[in-house]
Amino acid sequence: MSNVYSVAVVVGSLRKESINRKVALALADLAPANLKLEIVEIGDLALYNEDIDGGSPPAAYSTFRQHVSSSDAVLFVTPEYNRSVPAPLKNAIDVGSRPYGQSAWSGKPGAVISVSPGAIGGFGANHHLRQSMVFLDVPIMQQPEAYLSGAGSAFDEAGRLSESVKPFLQKFIDAYGRWVEQHKKV
């Protein structure tokens, strides 16, 4: 019997009804038994500023860092803005990586799925995020790569996941469950 690993899910879109949030929730429903996915909110994080992160960091910084630190793994679900990650996601990465030498991200098995209504599925955001994770010592799952293009049709009007998208997400989250099992620090 395998362990159950807690996964901090970081959604790059702040919009309450974003397709990315819907995909994150769908992945939580599809997750294998060894993963428990929980969205860690990033919308309340002030722009990272070392001046306000001194001896008494903002409560939102501390809460976010604690959620990420206490998780076993991390999953990023992100749109693409201007061929890169959205500013709130980059800010969350910076907040979680500080103070220097105490990164909340370090060593956590990770994965990225980029979600876009466009044709290339957020390819630029996906790869920019992977670059940051290399520096932050997050072993990112290489295969299967996950770019969900045409994401506007991934859910019906009632918010249900399209049956045509479900196998793609299932394959991704099952592979991620195996990745976490193999790469979780003991």
Read off the CATH number of the domain in which 20 is found. 3.40.50.360
The one-character DSSP state at 85 is: -
Per-residue pLDDT of the chain (186 residues), as tens digits, is: 469 999 999 999 999 889 999 999 999 999 999 999 999 999 999 999 999 998 899 999 999 999 999 999 999 999 999 999 999 999 999 999 999 999 999 999 999 999 998 888 899 999 999 999 999 999 999 999 999 998 889 998 888 999 999 999 999 999 999 999 999 875
Cα–Cα nearest to 122, from 6, 2, 42, 20: 20
Sheet with 5-11, strands from edge to edge, namely: 35-39, 5-11, 73-78, 110-115, 147-148
b/e string for 143-175 if b means 16 or more Cβ within 10 A? eebbbbbebeebbeeeeebeeebeebbeebbeb
This prediction's pTM: 0.95
Domain that holds residue 167: 5-183
DSSP string across 108-121: --EEEEEE-SSTTT
d(CA 56, CA 74) in angstroms, rounded, equals 26
CA atoms 18, 19, 22, 28: torsion sign: negative
Q: What's the N-to-C CA distance of the chain in angstroms? A: 16
Q: How far is CA 123 from the centre of its chain?
A: 15
Q: Count of domains in the chain? A: 1
Cα separation, 113 vs 39, in Å, equals 14
